[in-house]
Amino acid sequence: MPAKTAWAHLPNAQHIDAVLADVKVRPSTWAAAQVAAQVAAQVAASHAARDAALDAERAAVWSAIWGAVQDAIFDAVQDAAVDTIWGTITALIAWDSAADLLDCTPDVLRTMIDLAEPPVCHQAALLLPYAIVRFGQ
């Protein structure tokens, strides 16, 4: 039986686990996705996600899993991909609804970044590298 993670109780735990598993298999793909994503949009979205995750009900979760997720990421990849991976996982921690965007293509997410209101545009920006990795674009 696999060890229980610090984030196992979150609604998006299976997606976080899947991202971390994919990172271990294709770390260079994740590093390349960071270059392909809109970095400026990711930074703004990352701040919004962190703020959402630190709201009262998620603050304890954030504190409990921050180190565990960081360790899992650093074990899997080089520094170049860390921000990309952490952005994806942050979106999944901060917003349960972020999982609804995991099947979107990069083009759909880029459109959402440009046209959607927060928090959807933030979710799209943070999940864009995931979509680039997933769909190979």
- Angle between helical axes of 79-94 and 13-25 (0-180°, round to 10): 170
pLDDT at position 26, please? 87
* Domain ranges within the chain, ordered by starting residue: 13-135
Report the chain (137 residues): mean pLDDT per 10 consecutive residues.
78 93 86 72 74 68 71 63 82 93 96 92 92 88
